[in-house]
Every structure is written in structure tokens, then in C-alpha cells.
């Protein structure tokens, strides 16, 4: 049975997002709660998440943050490590189905009620003291502090692999974002995303013949973007998709070297 999460009403999301700006560094733990009187649930489709399950989810994500130095500001390597571990936690432990994970208000609740101190640590205010609304309010789930991690884990999950979440550690934030941001083309096919990431992993083991791995990846994405305009990738088998990604990567590497 799927698990239903609280959905924060838009007015309450706006209020709590404004509260982020009123509190100073280190004070956002005051906002942490396991419930909100301004949250609602879907009427049907599963059972409601329990308070204990929400507490367990918070403790798991908090432990991942503490392992990367929370509450001290993290460097890029620590941010990547936190993202990879938290993506797995959210996907494994939340028991969300894609339909529930597609609800913006669910992620508003998680970022502004259950985990605001950790999201502020991961995505601090800019030089003007402003937090990005996309990271907290779920306006764009591909940019949300937590929703984007669940999506990555869901897309890259390989249930039959010895380590089902190993693909999460192949690419850094910037490179993986280059793939996931193309949600109308490449990222629309989870099988193609996995094939691209597997191809990158295997190429790094053997080397890319003088071109940087990042340059080859980005040239591959440009070529795939053109190809998916007229090719139905979802009609291919997994082995055919892997072969396609490898061939496109080979062409990209040859064009660069």
C-alpha cells in the first residue's frame, strides 16, 4: 500500500518560507515539527504516514547531514555525498509512489516543516540573504531541495543490481543536473538516463582518449537531444538502449578527439 504524506496548503507554504528569512543562522530548528494544522492529505490512494515514520525519516536525513559536518557549512564534496545518501534514504524509507512524489505540496511540507534546518544548511541564502523559493516551496520539483533527490533515486534505481543505488554516485551535481533538467526529452525515459549514466561509469574506467569525461558527456547529451526528437526510446529494450548510449558516447568522444 502506498503512503500518503501531508500536503502543505499554499498560504502556509508562503508563511513558512517568509519565516525562513526572519530567522538567523542556526535558528531554523525552531521551525521543525512533525505535523502542521495547515496540511491536508489525499482523500484516497493509500494510508497516511504515521508520526513515527516522519520522525524516523527526519532522523535518517539528519544523520546523513551530520556525517557531512552539519551544522557547519559543507564544501562541494560533502554536499554531493549528502545528496547521494539522502536520495537513497528518501526513496527507500519514504515508501512514496510516483503519484504522491509528484505533489508539490508534499515536498513543501518536508522542506518547510519536517526538515527546514537541513534544507537551509544544504541550500543557504544567497549574498542578498534570500532563499530560493524553488528549493523549498516545490514550484519546480527538479530544483526542490528534496524532491530532486527522490526523483534521481527513483530514475537511477536498479532493483536487480547487486547495489541497486550505485548509479547515484557516478555523476556529480552539475553533470547529473544536465541530464535531469532535460525532462521533456532525455530524462523523460528513465531507461535512457540509466544507460547514459552506466556508459559514463564504464568509460571512466577505461578512459575517454584525451577528452575530459565531462566534455564527452555533454556532447553526448547534445546528440541524444537531437536523436530523441524523432526516436521513440521507450520502444527499445534495455540492451538496445545501452547500445545506443554507448554508440552516441563513442561518436561524441571521436568528435572531440
| Pairing relationship of beta strands 3-4 and 47-48 according to DSSP bridges | parallel
Give residues with Cβ within 8 angstroms of 205, minimum separation 6.
none
Instruction: Please report the pLDDT score of residue 45 as a whole number.
Output: 86
Contact predicate 57/107, CB 8 Å = no
Kindly state the percentage of the chain with pLDDT values over 90: 80
* Residue 167: pLDDT over 80: yes
pTM score of the predicted model: 0.93
Give residues with Cβ within 8 angstroms of 226, minimum separation 6.
none
Instruction: Please report the pLDDT score of residue 185 as a whole number.
Output: 85
Residue 48: φ, ψ to 5°: -75, 140
* Residue 210: pLDDT over 60: no
Average pLDDT over residues 34-40: 93
Helix residue spans in the chain (DSSP H): 10-22, 51-67, 76-93, 98-101, 104-109, 116-122, 133-137, 147-156, 173-180, 190-206, 213-227, 238-256
- Cα-based distances in Å from 118 to 57, 136, 223: 12, 11, 38
138 band by pLDDT with thresholds 50, 70 and 90: confident
Instruction: Please report the pLDDT score of residue 25 as a whole number.
Output: 85
Average pLDDT over residues 158-171: 94
- pLDDT per residue as tens digits for the range 219-249: 999 999 999 888 888 899 999 999 999 999 9
Within 10 Å of residue 33's Cβ, how many Cβ atoms?
Answer: 14
- For the chain, the straight-line distance linking the first and the last C-alpha, in angstroms and rounded, comes to 52
* Residue 149: pLDDT over 90: yes
Taking every pair of Cα atoms in the chain, the longest distance, rounded to a whole number of angstroms, is 59
The average confidence (pLDDT) of the chain is 93
Average pLDDT over residues 127-145: 92
CA angle 148, 98, 111 (to 5 degrees): 40
Q: Of 193, 185, 189, which is closest to residue 227 (Cα–Cα)? A: 185
* Residue 58: pLDDT over 90: yes
- pLDDT per residue as tens digits for the range 186-206: 888 999 999 999 999 988 766
Least confident window among 73-77, 103-107, 219-223, 225-229? 225-229
* Residue 209: pLDDT over 60: no
Instruction: Indicate the DSSP class of residue 74.
Output: P
Amino acid at each position: 500500500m502506498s503512503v500518503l504524506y501531508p500536503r502543505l496548503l499554499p498560504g502556509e507554504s508562503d508563511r513558512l518560507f517568509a519565516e525562513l528569512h526572519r530567522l538567523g543562522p542556526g535558528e531554523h530548528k525552531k521551525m521543525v515539527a512533525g505535523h502542521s494544522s495547515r496540511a491536508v492529505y489525499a482523500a484516497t490512494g493509500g494510508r497516511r504516514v504515521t508520526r513515527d515514520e516522519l520522525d524516523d525519516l527526519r532522523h535518517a536525513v539528519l544523520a546523513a547531514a551530520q556525517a557531512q559536518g552539519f551544522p557547519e557549512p559543507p564544501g562541494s564534496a560533502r554536499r554531493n555525498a549528502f545528496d547521494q545518501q539522502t536520495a537513497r534514504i528518501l526513496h527507500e524509507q519514504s515508501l512514496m509512489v510516483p503519484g504522491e512524489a509528484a505533489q508539490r505540496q508534499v515536498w513543501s511540507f518536508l522542506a518547510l516543516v519536517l526538515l527546514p534546518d537541513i534544507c537551509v544548511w544544504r541550500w543557504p541564502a544567497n549574498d542578498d540573504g534570500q532563499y530560493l523559493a524553488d528549493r523549498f516551496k516545490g514550484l519546480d520539483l527538479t530544483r526542490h531541495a528534496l524532491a530532486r533527490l527522490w526523483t534521481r533515486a527513483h530514475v537511477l534505481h536498479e532493483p536487480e543490481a547487486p547495489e541497486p543505488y550505485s548509479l547515484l554516485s557516478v555523476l556529480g551535481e552539475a553533470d547529473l543536473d544536465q541530464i535531469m533538467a532535460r525532462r521533456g526529452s532525455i530524462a523523460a525515459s528513465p531507461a535512457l538516463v540509466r544507460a547514459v549514466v552506466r556508459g559514463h561509469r564504464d568509460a571512466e574506467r577505461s578512459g575517454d582518449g584525451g577528452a575530459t569525461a565531462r566534455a564527452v558527456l555533454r556532447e553526448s547529451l547534445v546528440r541524444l537531444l537531437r536523436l530523441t526528437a524523432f526516436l521513440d526510446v521507450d520502444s527499445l529494450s534495455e540492451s538496445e538502449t545501452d547500445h545506443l548510449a554507448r554508440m552516441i558516447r563513442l561518436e561524441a568522444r571521436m568528435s572531440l578527439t
